[in-house]
């Protein structure tokens, strides 16, 4: 998926506060620059960070502005470089924030945001090798929480002397009432049966419909989104393992 299309999907996720996204692309193509630009656009509801760990994330959730809907981690290597107990605790906490929301049962907080059960959207970025490493670490629960946006960019056609700018015309807000106008997933023929993935894909489709995109445009965008498909054989080389773990929606 080209950056322009990824911007549209990121824009929808950040406005709605769902679904979680994993931006996958080679090193040096500008994933961090893209995410910084998107976070600047939504700086009142989105936090950009280059590193996360369990303790810091837990404390952030406790004290953060309640308007914050999305946390963006620009490089998942910042977690993978930590010791295994920190990795496991951090990834487990991220999964909980996304799916269940924070509750008293997993913290000792007596009041405040952690007692509210508020969920947070999470957007991660990394390379295909990072996805494979997560598979080999057994982080299947984490990997199934995201829609995957493989991004590519022809750097020969990019003027690196100019500041990166988002495309014009990306919406900045959405009314919940607009989302509720579209209550059917069959606007686009999605064959995925997994309930979690259907909910995530449905949210993207509804947002794009409410922004005024036509069905053909939405279908082309959805074609570039992947879901995680746990591979049966983890003894493959990393390229094969990555390719087998990514399943297109359409």
Percent of residues, the chain, with pLDDT higher than 70? 87
Is pLDDT of 112 > 50?
A: no
Residue 183 located in a structural domain: no
pLDDT recorded at residue 187: 62
Give the C-alpha distances (Å, rounded to integers) separating 32 from 39, 47, 112, 146. 10, 13, 32, 18
Residue 158 CB coordination number (10 Å): 13
pTM, full prediction: 0.90
Q: How far apart are CA 123 and CA 6, in angstroms?
A: 12
Check which CATH number belongs to the domain holding 100 and give it. Answer: 3.40.50.300
Residue 148 located in a structural domain: yes
pLDDT recorded at residue 101: 58
> Given pLDDT bands bounded at 50, 70 and 90, which one contains residue 238?
confident
Q: How far apart are CA 204 and CA 206, in angstroms?
A: 6
Is pLDDT of 130 > 80?
A: yes
pLDDT recorded at residue 105: 42
pLDDT tens digits for 188-207?
777 788 888 988 998 898 89
Residue 21, C-beta contacts closer than 8 angstroms, at least 6 positions apart: 9, 10, 13, 123, 124, 146, 147, 148, 149
Residue 115 located in a structural domain: yes
Between 122 and 236, the more confident residue is: 122
Residue 205 located in a structural domain: no
Q: How far apart are CA 54 and CA 37, in angstroms?
A: 26
pLDDT tens digits for 162-180?
888 999 999 988 877 766 6
pLDDT recorded at residue 109: 42
- Number of domains the chain is built from: 1
Q: How far apart are CA 224 and CA 1, in angstroms?
A: 6
Is pLDDT of 219 > 70?
A: yes
pLDDT recorded at residue 104: 40
Is pLDDT of 21 > 60?
A: yes
pLDDT tens digits for 24-71?
999 888 999 999 999 999 999 999 999 988 888 888 887 777 888 999
- State which residues form the domain around 124: 3-155+226-243
Best-predicted range by mean pLDDT (21-25, 165-169, 244-248): 21-25
Residue 201 located in a structural domain: no
Q: How far apart are CA 132 and CA 233, in angstroms?
A: 12
Residue 24 located in a structural domain: yes
Residue 47 located in a structural domain: yes
Residue 31 located in a structural domain: yes
Q: Judge whether 200 and 18 are in contact, CB under 8 Å.
A: yes
Task: Give helix 31-41 / helix 3-16 axis angle, nearest 10°.
Answer: 40
* Pair type for strands 21-24 and 147-150: parallel
């Amino acid at each position: 998926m080209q950056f322009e299309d990824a911007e549209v999907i990121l824009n929808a996720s950040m406005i709605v506060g769902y679904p979680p996204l994993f931006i996958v692309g080679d090193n040096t193509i500008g994933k961090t620059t893209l995410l910084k630009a998107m976070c600047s656009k939504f700086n009142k509801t989105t936090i950009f960070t280059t590193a996360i760990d369990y303790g810091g994330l837990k404390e952030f959730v406790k004290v953060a502005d309640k308007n914050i809907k999305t946390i963006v981690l620009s490089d998942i290597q910042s977690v993978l470089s930590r010791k295994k107990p920190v990795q496991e605790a951090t990834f487990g906490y991220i999964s909980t924030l996304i799916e269940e929301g924070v509750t008293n049962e997993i913290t000792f907080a007596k009041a405040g945001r952690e007692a509210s059960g508020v969920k947070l959207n999470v957007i991660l970025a990394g390379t295909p090798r990072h996805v494979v490493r997560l598979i080999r670490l057994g982080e299947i629960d984490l990997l199934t929480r995201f829609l995957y946006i493989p991004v590519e960019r022809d750097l020969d056609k990019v003027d690196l002397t100019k500041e990166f700018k988002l495309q014009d015309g990306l919406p900045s807000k959405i009314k919940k009432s607009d989302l509720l106008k579209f209550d059917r997933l069959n606007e686009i023929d999605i064959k995925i049966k997994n309930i979690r993935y259907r909910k995530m894909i449905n949210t993207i489709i509804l947002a794009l419909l409410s922004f005024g995109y036509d069905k053909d445009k939405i279908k082309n965008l959805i074609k570039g989104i992947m879901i995680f498909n746990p591979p049966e054989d983890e003894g493959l080389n990393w390229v094969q393992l990555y390719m087998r773990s990514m399943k297109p929606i359409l």
